[in-house]
Each structure stands twice: as structure tokens, then as C-alpha cells.
Structure 1
Amino acid sequence: MKNDVGIKSVKRKTLSKQVVEQIVQLLMTGQFKLGDRLPSEHVLMEQLHVSRPVLREALSSLETLGIINRKTREGTFISEKIGSEPFSLMLALSAGDLPAIMEARMSIELGLISLAARKINDEQLAQLKETLDEIEFGDGDYSEYDKGFHRIIAYSANNSILEGLVDPLLNMVEQMINQVSQGDKNREVTLEQHKLIYESLKKHDVLEAYTNMYRHLEYGRNKVSRIINHSTNL
């Protein structure tokens, strides 16, 4: 990889955060591509005009976020596929703000269901049917099947950019709902709403699928809001 990738020198007081932002910007503008090998530390230090400790701190942050990975004796590379770590970090920082997380869920999942209604295949529909059967006829907690239902829909949208958002979002929503609702769930309502979504996807009806998903998510959001308001008023 070329070393003259248009990196701007960091002026004034150098902060590792600025280095992180520089490298992310180069990735976003296409000067770095997935899988590219980064220049050596020495070259980066010269181009960025930063010290080795600052550069290494920045690289450690990028590695933690899953943006780069280091290979012994080979060098440092931009990850082949950027994972969910940045989004997970953002969710972690928002932990406790359940209304905001529920709104984020609605925004993301309503977009996903619209794509899924066009793209979902017979194998994925069969997987959805299996989760419905587990919810309806299984014993005990059905949370994993509930989450699995939403995950199948998300992945059937077949959008690599959105895939990294799905699991951390569903995990965070589940954890926070469990904290406020103390396991208070309604299997019958969940099953009925999931069945309506499934039938819409089976018909590849985008508008109907969107509407049924909206009603399902809005039901959950309203339920959580009532619990929160009740707890606040105690």
C-alpha cells in the first residue's frame, strides 16, 4: 500500500482521538480500504507528526473498536469486515435511556422489515416458522426464539452495513426490558403479532409487513413506557 495516502498532520496539541478520526476519515473516503495494510508506525508517526505513545494509544483504540487488527510479523491491517463494536460502544454509553434505545430499534427494524419483505427466501421463511412453533409449543422462557425471529428478519434484508447493528441492538433491548419488566411477558400477544409479520413476509407484502412490525414494536414500546411511568410515580 502507498504511504502517501493524504494524511494531514495533526496540529496543536496532539491527541490520540484526532489520530483515530484521521484514520477513520481515510477509510470513509476510500484512501484506506477493507483489508489494506497500514503504513509502518514510523511512517505514520512522520505523516501525522505524533509521538509513538500517542500513535499506539490510537491504534489500540481502533483495535478495540474492531476497525483494525494486528498480525504478528505481518503488520497492522484494516479489518476485512468492520464489526459491531462501534455500535455496541454507543449503545453501552446510552444504557439506561430505554426510550431512546426503543426508538432506535423501531427506526432500524422498520427499515429492515421493508428490505426483508422484498428479499426473504424460502429457507429463511422456514426458519421463521420454526421460531413461531417454538414460541407456541415450547416450555419456559421463549426470549431466545423471540430474539431469533427478529434476527432472521434482519439478516434476510441481506445488507452487510446493517447486519453489524442487529445483534448488539437486540441484546441491549432484551437486557433493558428484562430489567424494567422483571420477565413480565405475554406469550399469546407475542405469538399473534409474530404470526402476522410472518404472513406478510410470506406474501412479500412490504406495506403490510411494515405495518405489522410497527404495531408489534409500538406495543412493546408502550408497554415499557407504562412500566417506567408506574415505577417513577411510586
Structure 2
Amino acid sequence: MKEVINVEIKSVNRKTLSKQVLDEIIDLLLSGQLKSGDRLPSELELMEMFDVSRSVIREALTSLESMGIVNRKTRNGTFFSEKIGSKPFSMMLALSAGNLPSIIETRLSLELGFVTLAAEKITDKELDQLKQTIDAMSSATSDYTEIDKEFHKIIAHSASNPLLEGVITPLLNLYDRTLEQIPNRHRDSKATIQQHIDIYEALKKRDPIQSSTAMYRHLDYVRKKVLMNLNDM
């Protein structure tokens, strides 16, 4: 068990106490006084530091836990998470669920970053996995949405960036919602599969510029199909 580190915490006034406590606890990370994986002071110690009640401390810790920032262990105490979770980004996306154009643009901007990094880091094994998904899409006799999603998931994970890991799952969870906005009459599986082949070939060359260009063409194609359907509604 890690020892509790002495930290400096600002006093808070009694307006929106739990929110201020939450902000001050997060600031322990931002200021470098504590780091991921470190144990927070006990509830009693936090009560004394902030001069607030136990209910305020628990409310702040519950909010932090719901965002995936801390993990509360019954006997061992509360710890800052060691790995960035997807919950904060999921909450942001949930609040924007009705703004589909913005969601599409968010996906486009993030996946362009993923594929650029993937071009530098992707392994031969991950390239083989990409090829297998393309082959599966080509031979599919019905909907291949899950296979398509796996293709993008492999690229995202091959970027091997822990700061980006927290956005991958919620981003891909929106993938189905995006495709639902494209009626069958607007879909062209042949064009879609070719776009995936182009992305794969660029990644195989380890060319970040060509990879980014191929991904942009694919996602822009999807974006236009979705917006075309929204305009027809």
C-alpha cells in the first residue's frame, strides 16, 4: 500500500462545496502533488483539510468515481486511476447526442490522429488483422457493421497512446448510430470496401500522410452520406 503524501490544498468557501472539493482534488493531479495510482488522503483527512462535512467529501468522491478519475476500494482507500477511462468522454458525447454533424466531425478529427500515429506504430500482426477484416467485409452476405467497426478499432489501438485510449470505446459506440443515418439506398459497399483497402495499403507502407488522406476520404464519404440523409428528412 502506498503511503499518503503530504499535499497542499486551498480552502474553499461554502458555495457549491462538493464541486469545489472535486476541483481541488483534480488540481492535485494537475499540480503534480499526486500522480495516477497514488492514494488520496482518507475521508477524515479530507474533511479536516477542506473544513467540510463527510457528506460533502463523499459527494465529491462519488462524482470523481463516476467519471473514472478515482477508484474507491472499501478497505484500502481511494486512489487516482492509473489508466484514463472512457467515462468523461462518454458523458461529453452523451450531452451532444442530438448534434450528429458535430459528432461526425469529432470522429473525423480523432480518427485522422489515430491513423497518422498508427502509420508509425502499427505492427505486422495488426496489419494482418486489418487485412482479415477487409476480407471478411468483402465476403459478407449481410450487414458487416461489426466487422467495419473492428477495422477502425484495430487502427485506434495500434496508435498505442494511453491518452487516446479513453476516447476509443465511446467513439466506436457512436459508429452504429452514424451508420443508422445512412439508408440502404445511399450505401455503396463496393466503394466503402475500396476505401478500407486504400487505408490498409497506406498503413502497410508506413506512410502517415497517405494514411491520413485515405482515412479522410473515407470518413468524408461517410459524413456526406449521413448529411445527405439528414437534409432529406
TM-score range, shorter chain: over 0.9
Matching residue's letter, 1:181? I
Match of 2:119 among 117, 120, 131: 117
Matched with 1:208 is: 210
The count of residues paired between Structure 1 and Structure 2 equals 230
Q: Distance in 2 between matches of 1:18 and 1:173?
A: 36
What is the Cα deviation at residue 77 of structure 1? Answer: 1.1
Matching residue's letter, 1:121? T
Matching residue's letter, 2:206? H
Q: Distance in 2 between matches of 1:124 and 1:134?
A: 15
What is the Cα deviation at residue 59 of structure 1? Answer: 0.6
What is the Cα deviation at residue 12 of structure 1? Answer: 4.0
Root mean square deviation, CA, Å = 1.5
Kept in 1, the 8 Å contact 2:85–2:166? The answer is yes
Q: Distance in 2 between matches of 1:166 and 1:2?
A: 33
Matched with 2:50 is: 48
Query: Is 1:20 the counterpart of 2:22 in the alignment?
Result: yes
Name the TM-score, length of structure 1 as normaliser: 0.93
Kept in 1, the 8 Å contact 2:71–2:79? The answer is yes
What is the Cα deviation at residue 173 of structure 1? Answer: 3.3
Q: Secondary structure at the match of 1:181?
A: coil
User: C-alpha offsets along residues 55-95 of structure 1, whole Å, 9 cap, x if unaligned?
Assistant: 11111111111111111211111112121111111111111
Match of 2:61 among 59, 62, 80: 59
Q: What is the identity percentage for the equivalent residue pairs of Structure 1 and Structure 2?
A: 56
Kept in 2, the 8 Å contact 1:14–1:50? The answer is no
Name the TM-score, length of structure 2 as normaliser: 0.94
Q: Secondary structure at the match of 1:11?
A: coil
- Provide structure 2 residue ranges, at least 5 long, that are not aligned to the other structure: none
- Provide structure 1 residue ranges, at least 5 long, that are not aligned to the other structure: none
What is the Cα deviation at residue 46 of structure 1? Answer: 1.4
The verdict on how the C-alpha distance between 1:182 and 1:25 changes in structure 2, with shifts beyond 3 A counting, is farther
Matching residue's letter, 1:51? S
Matched with 2:162 is: 160
Q: Distance in 2 between matches of 1:200 and 1:33?
A: 38
Kept in 1, the 8 Å contact 2:84–2:162? The answer is no
